Homo-oligomer: A and B are copies of this chain.
Amino acid sequence: MADVADLAGVSLKTVSRVVNNAPHVQPELVERVLAAVSELGFRRNPLASSLRSGQTNATIGLLIEEIANPFYATIAGAAAEVARQHDTMLIIASSEEDPAREEQLLRDMCARRVDGLLVVPAGDDHSFLRAEIELGTPMVFLDRPAGGLLADTVLLDNRGGARAGVRRLVEAGHRRIGILLDSIGVYTMRERLDGAQDALAPAGVPYDTRLVRDGVRDPLAAARVVSELLEGPDPPTAFFSLNNRITLGVIEELHRRGSDAAVLGFDDFDVARLVPYPLTVIAYDTRELARTATELLFHRIEGDRSWPRTVVLPTELVARGAPPR
């Protein structure tokens, strides 16, 4: 900047004024400075700028579990889009579901003085962020609530969606429903399971824990569990899979066996149309989830200091897949 000032024959401060479009600079000087800027290829260093001004550095952080997962990729895409509308860069970090790593990454982002933070929580204690929040870094949690912290949160209606889906199964006469889930340790899974129970009880269908299988991590495991349940005594006539990875495995196995069990799956997926089996999915708008959260974050960044909000977005039942063979 000093070089530019020398070349243009003005003071360093005048250069600063020009590059910041500050008022009260003679048009002629502006011209000279701009000429010098482009001659020297000068570009303002936003880091130094935000160091001095203490103001925003036009960066927000997004913490997710795993970028390569389409759910989080969609979130990242929507967040990036909103960020871009606010001329803000997005830093993305993956916690890989590891609470220790999550804490380290969040601290690191705060140390970088991001303007705000979007967090899909992995751990269940986020009280270490309280100091940051009080220090003025706005944060919005999405998909899952923060642990031990009152903060803005945007969630899906996991429980309501599961309740509506299972109610439909029950109304269709199913009394034995196999339920497959990834991990009961995850908030969304617990909510979905609670929703299923909500729907069973009033219909007088007993909640049979032998039909509920935790720890189903991938399609292969799902296929195996379906086999077990179908070959056991008093097999289920319907399956409720609590995420789309599981749904794929369930369908594959049912298709292979030529079974006609009903399938209800939480999470939609793009190729669902192509799947050779009829199923009902509990769908939701992932982009909307992220968009809502990011917009809330920018409200906070722009100074909204009102009481923390919790927003719950609706889910929808959708019929998918090819009709049975």
Contacts and interface: CB of A to CB of B under 8 A. Distances in A.
Work out how many copies of this chain go into the complex: 2
Contacts of A93: 80, 89-90
A94 interface: yes
Interface string A44-85: 111110110000010100000011111011101110110010
Chain A contact patch, size range: 35 or more
A204 B273 CA distance: 39
A252 interface: yes
A260 interface: no
Interface stretch (A108-116, A161-169, A188-196): A108-116
Contact of A111 (B44, B73, B78): B44
A-side interface mostly = helix
Contacts of A66: 77
Interface in A237-287: 248, 251-252, 255, 269, 271, 273-276, 287
A46 B112 contact: yes
A172 interface: no
Given A76-B68, A80-B94, A93-B90, A47 B274 contact: no
A41 interface: yes
23 contacts: A44-B111, A46-B112, A47-B47, A47-B50, A47-B57, A51-B51, A66-B77, A67-B77, A68-B73, A68-B74, A68-B77, A68-B78, A68-B287, A73-B76, A76-B92, A84-B94, A90-B91, A90-B93, A91-B91, A271-B274, A274-B274, A274-B275, A276-B322
